[in-house]
Amino acid sequence: MAYLALMGLQLAASPVAGGGTGSYVVTGDAIMAPLVGGKGDPARGAALISDRQRSLCTLCHSGPFPDSHLHGTLAPDLTGVGARLSEGQIRLRVVDMKRLAPNTIMPSYYRVAEEQGRRVATVWRGKPILTGADIEDIVAYLTTLKG
């Protein structure tokens, strides 16, 4: 816990560039401000999560999404994530899970993939995985998953 608090302080002190796709400020374990202006569209976010070409979320995560028989079990089930985590906490986890769990297999979505180093799957290399607007749509959807 002490370690986490320390890491939070350190992160809060330094606004970080988002790997060329934009900049954002990490406060503790969250990004409080939306990455782009305007409200995210939860319906589009839901569609993106189930998009097995682009986001690949359901390769690892299960949740209240269509085609549950195809969902992976490598990651926490996202059912109720909107009750467990705040909007800002969800935003940071989708933007850059590696800040919180350096060895995670979850891609840092708000980056050009090759900047992530060796751990990135070739399918993502050289491409920004999701745009700020994509991530806001996903965050808008995940915050609705309260139960």
Of the pair 17, 101, the CB lying nearest ligand HEC is at 101
Find, among 16, 26, 15, the residue nearest to 100 by Cα.
Answer: 26
Residue 16 or 59: which CB sits closer to ligand HEC? Answer: 59
**Looking at residue 140, what DSSP letter applies?**
H
Instruction: State how far the Cα of 125 lies from the Cα of 137, in Å rounded to an integer.
Output: 23
**In contact, 19 and 108? CB cutoff 8 Å:** yes
* Interface of this chain with ligand HEC, residues 59 to 88, rule: CB under 6 A: 59-61, 74-76, 81, 84
Q: Is 109 in the site for ligand HEC (CB under 6 A)?
A: yes
91 binds ligand HEC (CB under 6 A): no
What three-state secondary structure class fits 136? helix
Contact footprint for ligand HEC (CB under 6 A): 49, 55-57, 59-61, 74-76, 81, 84, 90, 93-94, 97, 101, 104-107, 109, 138, 142
